[in-house]
Amino acid sequence: MPPAPVAPEGYQTESILKANKQAAEHGIDLSKLPKLMDLSAASITENVHAINSNCPDERTKFIFKHLIQHIHDFVRETSLTTEEWMTAIHFLTQTGKTCSDIRQEFILLSDTLGVSALVDSLNNAKPPGATEGSVLGPFFTEDAYDFQNGESIASEGKGEYMYVHGRVLDTKGKPVPHAVIDTWETDGFGMYDTQYSEREKPECRGRLKSDGDGNYAFRAVVPVSYPIPSDGPVGKMVTKLGRHVFRPAHLHMQIEAPGYEKLTTALYPRGDPYISSDAVFGVKSSLIVDLKPVNDPELATKRGFGDPNKIHMELEHDFILATPEEGKVARKKTHEEMMKGVKTGMDHLKLD
């Protein structure tokens, strides 16, 4: 039997020096790291926390500590199998591959798990009287055309006529002039423009400004309920969970003005069959609106509709913006209420 190979003299020392040099280039002192060997299901979590403890950004370190703690606890509590974890990895991989410049499958995943609604509730809490927010959704784009007040964001034939108007105000009832309003919606077939493979231009979306008195107005189409994209991993997940894939009809609105917090919200026409079981948890009672039928050819002509003899629906709604100071107070109160709920939930778990 031939003798075992022998490393050249000084090889180990040279290897250690090289490793220390490479680590130092990344700001790491190998001698101060925990010894990550012979880890068990009981000890691995604290060791991951330990090796992350040198993170220079306290907020990043805090977030990752809690993320790792919850993931590790989840694995232990569910006795997750290797096959199940690989299924999850494959699912996330497919979710990433489904994303494109005009489709955001990860936002859809966040929406359908209720994470988007939760993050929105915590970060965009509003004071009493201000318009509540709702989820952004995966169909917002930056390429909307600019429109003047009263113009149409939808081409003829895209759906039933709708006229949207109202005012942008502050919490004291004063008008907010020249607020930038982004709005987008499905067409009458339940499709966003980005879902059409032959999309040539922005459609059923637009950007306008409130006038000097806070007034805004635009022509659109009546939105309809629609299924979230079901051809990808998220749609399949929702179906697997025994849920429906539908969103109630809604009109997205995003409003910005100097001195006020950005408002991302949506309006939900009353009576939609999915309004109380939205697939992405976005509906709030204060955002449910009534559409009023208008059968007035003269008014339809004045408003610029192509066929004045057709009945159009009218949606009148005022948006109330909060200042950063008002929002800060509202977020603090929401956080305090949430922490009370978390403590109550943990107490129930202990009793169980």
pLDDT at 307 over 90: yes
Average pLDDT for the chain: 91
Per-residue b/e over 280-294, b at no fewer than 16 CB within 10 Å?
A: bbbbbeebbbebeeb
More reliable by pLDDT, 20 or 326: 326
Identify the band that residue 132 occupies on the pLDDT scale cut at 50, 70 and 90. very high
Query: What's residue 2's pLDDT?
Result: 61
Q: Which CATH architecture has domain 127-329?
A: Sandwich (2.60)
pLDDT at 197 over 70: yes
Rounded Cα distance between 291 and 250, Å, is 12
Residue ranges covered by each domain of the chain: 16-78, 127-329
Report strand pairing: 161-170 vs 319-321.
parallel
Count CB-CB contacts under 10 A for residue 57: 9
Contacts of 247 (CB under 8 A, 6+ apart): 225, 226, 227, 228, 274, 278, 279, 280, 282
Query: What's residue 129's pLDDT?
Result: 95
How distant, in Å, are the alpha carbons of 98, 134, 190 from that of 224?
25, 17, 6
Query: What's residue 138's pLDDT?
Result: 85
Identify the band that residue 33 occupies on the pLDDT scale cut at 50, 70 and 90. confident
C-alpha closest to that of 218 among 142, 166, 292: 166
pLDDT at 28 over 90: no
pLDDT at 11 over 70: no
Query: What's residue 8's pLDDT?
Result: 58
More reliable by pLDDT, 64 or 3: 64
263-269 sheet: strands from edge to edge: 205-209, 180-184, 251-256, 263-269, 288-289
DSSP string, 295-313: --HHHHHHHT-S-TTS-EE
- Asked if 251 contacts 266 with a C-beta cutoff of 8 angstroms, the reply is yes
Identify the band that residue 29 occupies on the pLDDT scale cut at 50, 70 and 90. confident
Mean pLDDT of the region 33-43: 84
- Asked if 211 contacts 144 with a C-beta cutoff of 8 angstroms, the reply is no
Q: Which of 31-45, 111-125, 232-246, 252-266 has the lowest mean pLDDT?
A: 31-45
Length of the chain: 352
- Amino acid identity of residue 26, one-letter, is H
